[in-house]
Amino acid sequence: MIKKVGVAILGLGVVGGGTYKTLVEHREYYKKTQGVDVSVESVLVRTKQKALDLGVDPAIIANSIAEVIANPAVDIVIETIGGCEAAKEYILAALKEGKSVVTANKELICKHWHELERTAKRNGCGLYFEASCVGGVPIIRTLLDGVQSNYVQEMLGIINGTTNYILTRMSKDGASYETVLKDAQSLGYAEADPTNDVEGFDAVYKLSILSSLAFHQKISYEHIFREGISKIDTKDIEFGKDMGYTLKLLAIAKNSEKGVELRVHPTFIRNSHPLTGVNDAFNAVYLKGDAVDNIMLYGRGAGSLPTASAVVSDVLYAATHSEIKYATFNNSVEGAEKVKYVSDFQSVYYVRLSVEDEVGSLARICGIFANNGVSIVEVGQKGHYLGDGEKPRVPVYLITNKTFESKINSAVKAINESNVATVEALIRIEE
């Protein structure tokens, strides 16, 4: 017997429009393969014409969230309007009415997950958010229902398509950050205000959600180290190539006896690593479990239909699973306080300096590093250029042994305060 499930879609933008199209076009397919008849029973849009242009029946276009949740034919509410305030209000209203919710809203889940889930539990309904992280890549379902037999030890991710596109173009074409950013904006990969993407906030929100699920602890986004790509220079990308590295904005999460280590920043990785082949706007997550060892999920991290794929996947999951699963951890603000965070993490570092071209300069620099407990394993020099003064300055790069973030920062501060060199770039290396 075919089970009937009615859905409402809040917002018909890029993701909402793709979701509506997928549900309508695949309706018969889902009947045959999933045993459910999913029908769109209501839509809520700011501009009615947008719905009509998609072919939505005018009779199901609602005028308010109250009208949507009062509709007895609606079992599941899909939120794709984005933002936090209105989306949170609408989702809470739906959950209080006993209707399960599917959302693609990463910032909302990251910041208000505990409140939304508490309301869902009280009213016996589900909260699903596969589409909130990494677009069409089924990473959340993998963490919940694929690798739950493992103690997940580590997760490395390229989880923002905008920054991956920019770094790919800078690497392939040798173009500047500013030039590629303009291209990304013209192609629709980057917003007019790209801060959320290029400064790493988007990746931080996603890493907060994914690491919470992977490590079974509520991870607060406020404890994630963040550094964006806006200061990346093509010189460093080229130096990295010479050393066998590729530059990516990585989201890194590690779980050990010391605690959880969480960071988002530009990272050099060896060209032999699978993540180096993830280019343009594609995303990937590389997991390490104690039983399964290493696995990688790869695909489109954004876009209308890829994200709609994740949204509809949640709809079908909710429709075909009577038992509702909630977080495996204390999903509360208080729960976050019990997590042991590793703030002074360890890494290998690439450092580029402009050095006074004088005898003894390099020895003085190495001495400063040594005095701060940082050892050097490789030194290189490429070309000459003039600094602000009359003395010629030489671009020099150094690769350190693994050391603590606090020690490298102390060394950088001491070098910048000396009169022998200036640190132009500092990039972490994930070996």
Distances (CA, A) of 189 to 13, 32, 186, 293: 15, 36, 8, 33
Which one, of 266, 247, 64, lies nearest residue 171 by Cα? 247
Q: Quote the Cα angle for 225-227-232, to 5°.
A: 155
| Contact by Cβ (8 Å): 426, 408 | yes
Residue 382 has pLDDT above 80, yes or no: no
Instruction: Please tell me whether residues 59 and 125 are part of one structural domain.
Output: yes
Closest CA to 113 of 35, 254, 217: 217
Confidence of residue 394 (pLDDT cuts 50, 70, 90): confident
With 70 as the cut, is the pLDDT of residue 208 above it? yes
pLDDT at residue number 338: 80
Q: Which pLDDT does position 1 carry in this prediction?
A: 84
Q: What is the pLDDT of residues 134-148, one digit of tens each?
A: 999 999 999 999 999
pLDDT of residue 388: 57
Angle in degrees, 0-180, between the axes of helices 201-215 and 106-122, rounded to the nearest 10 = 40
Same structural domain, 44 and 118? yes
**Per-residue pLDDT averaged across 109-129, rounded?**
97
Owning domain of residue 222: 139-301
Residues 278-294, mean pLDDT to the nearest whole number: 97
pLDDT at residue 393, as a whole number: 82
Specify whether 7 is located in the same domain as 110: yes
Residues 183, 185, 190, 194, CA torsion sign = positive
Which whole number is the average pLDDT over 4-10?
A: 98
Confidence of residue 385 (pLDDT cuts 50, 70, 90): low
The mean pLDDT of 154-174, rounded to a whole number, is 97
Q: Which residues contact 389 (CB under 8 A, 6 or more apart)?
A: none
Q: Is 330 helix (H, G, I), strand (E, B) or coil?
A: coil
What sign results for the dihedral spanned by CA atoms 389, 390, 396, 400? negative
Q: What is the CATH number of the domain that holds 402?
A: 3.30.70.260
Q: Which pairs count as long-range contacts for 402-405, CB under 8 Å and 24+ apart, including other chains?
A: 402/346, 402/347, 402/348, 402/431, 403/346, 403/347, 403/348, 403/349, 403/373, 403/374, 403/375, 404/344, 404/345, 404/346, 404/373, 405/343, 405/344, 405/345, 405/346, 405/347
Confirm whether 328 is domain-assigned: no
Q: Are residues 410 and 393 in the same domain?
A: yes
Q: CA–CA separation, 267 vs 233, rounded Å? A: 13
Predicted confidence band at 364 (pLDDT cuts at 50, 70, 90)?
very high
Active site residue 206: yes
The SS3 call for residue 220 is: coil
* Whether residue 37 has pLDDT greater than 70: yes
Structural domain count of the chain: 3
Task: Kindly report the pTM of this predicted structure.
Answer: 0.95
Q: pLDDT band for position 69 (50/70/90)? A: very high
pLDDT per position as a tens digit, 213-242: 999 999 999 999 999 999 999 999 999 999
What is the percent of the chain where pLDDT is above 70? 97
Q: What is the token pair recorded at 279?
A: 């280019």
Task: For residue 291, list its beta bridge partners.
Answer: none
Instruction: Give the integer Cα–Cα distance in Å for 17 and 54.
Output: 7
225 and 133 in contact (C-beta within 8 Å)?
no
Same domain, 178 and 100: no
157 with 263, same domain: the answer is: yes
Q: Report the mean per-residue pLDDT for the chain.
A: 95
Cβ contacts of 230 within 8 Å, gap of 6 or more: 177, 198, 199
DSSP letter (8 states) at residue 356: E
Same domain, 145 and 257: yes
Task: Indicate the helix (H) or strand (E) that contains 190.
Answer: none
**Cβ atoms 237, 397 nearer than 8 A:** no
Domain with residue 32: its CATH number is 3.40.50.720
> Catalytic one among 111, 206, 218, 288?
206
How confident is residue 389, by pLDDT bands cut at 50, 70 and 90?
low
**Strand segments (E) across 200-275:** 225-226, 245-256, 259-270
The answer, yes or no, to whether residue 387 has pLDDT greater than 60, is no
Average pLDDT over residues 308-336: 91
- Do 181 and 162 sit in the same domain of this protein? yes
- Residue 200 scores a pLDDT above 90: yes
